[in-house]
Chains A and B, each alone.
Chain A
Amino acid sequence: GESVGLHLPTLSVQEGDNSIINCAYSNSASDYFIWYKQESGKGPQFIIDIRSNMDKRQGQRVTVLLNKTVKHLSLQIAATQPGDSAVYFCAENIGGKLIFGQGTELSVKP
């Protein structure tokens, strides 16, 4: 994921629309990836994970896509709701250590 943070990237969507949050990871040897959601005043909450032998994985209203060729990860949230407003982090596993990106702030407009 991204390393040094400047300002947090933001994404603003209308309630009910689909959201796509992107992440570029750094190490082609990374074999496991996780998306987390962090609400204000709380710790990161596990959303979904994917191993490098997969291209796509679906959960409840969420889908993670992995493109190993360009080292890109995305999180799709269907029918975005106000409760989805939070900062979303991707993390890549390298040698048992999770390396986190700087995060994207998702804002849902009613």
Chain B
Amino acid sequence: ETGVTQTPRHLVMGMTNKKSLKCEQHLGHNAMYWYKQSAKKPLELMFVYNFKEQTENNSVPSRFSPECPNSSHLFLHLHTLQPEDSALYLCASSQIVGNQPQHFGDGTRLSIL
């Protein structure tokens, strides 16, 4: 148990579908992150939230839409995705943004048909 829970663990969707990924952290942290992990590539930071405010959008296409209703929950809303969006999507949290270890969930494996 890492204290960061992601659902669903696996998701298959068509390019015209709309779905959402959910992340919940039980660590009392104030910063939350979305990363994309593709095969044979380093983890790519997508979004950062600090105290519910988005502080980083790493040039992510608008078909990915994050939402952070409170410091414990983070969502990633997906619509009209492309096949190249198939990847493992990881959520992480840290006490604050900065020189702090980030703790990861086990990810959602997303496949776009």
What is the minimal beta-carbon distance from B23 to any residue of chain A, in angstroms? Answer: 11
A2 touches B99 (CB 8 A): no
Could you say which of A10-18, A57-65, A68-76, A96-104 contacts chain B? Answer: A96-104
Contact B99 A43 (CB under 8 A): no
Do A93 and B43 touch (CB < 8 A)? Answer: no
Residues in chain B near residue A49, CB distance under 8 A: 101
A89 touches B40 (CB 8 A): no
Chain A interface: which of B11-19, B71-79, B104-112?
Answer: B104-112
| Secondary structure dominating the interface of B | loop
Spell out B's residues near A (CB within 8 Å). 2, 4, 6, 40-43, 45, 48, 56, 90, 92, 97-99, 101-107
Contact yes or no, A46 B98, CB < 8 A: no
A8: chain B residues within 8 A (beta carbon): 40
Contact between chains at B42 and A3 (CB < 8 Å):
yes
With A43-B105, A45-B104 already in contact, the answer to whether A96 and B98 are too (CB < 8 A) is yes
Chain A residues within 8 Å of chain B by Cβ, number: 30
Please give the distance in Å from B76's CB to the nearest CB on chain A.
15
Q: List 22 A-B contacts (CB under 8 A).
A: A1-B42, A31-B99, A36-B104, A41-B106, A42-B106, A42-B107, A43-B2, A43-B6, A45-B2, A45-B104, A46-B103, A49-B101, A51-B99, A89-B42, A89-B43, A96-B48, A96-B97, A97-B48, A99-B42, A99-B45, A100-B43, A101-B42
**For residue A93, which residues in chain B have a CB less than 8 angstroms away from its CB?**
98-99
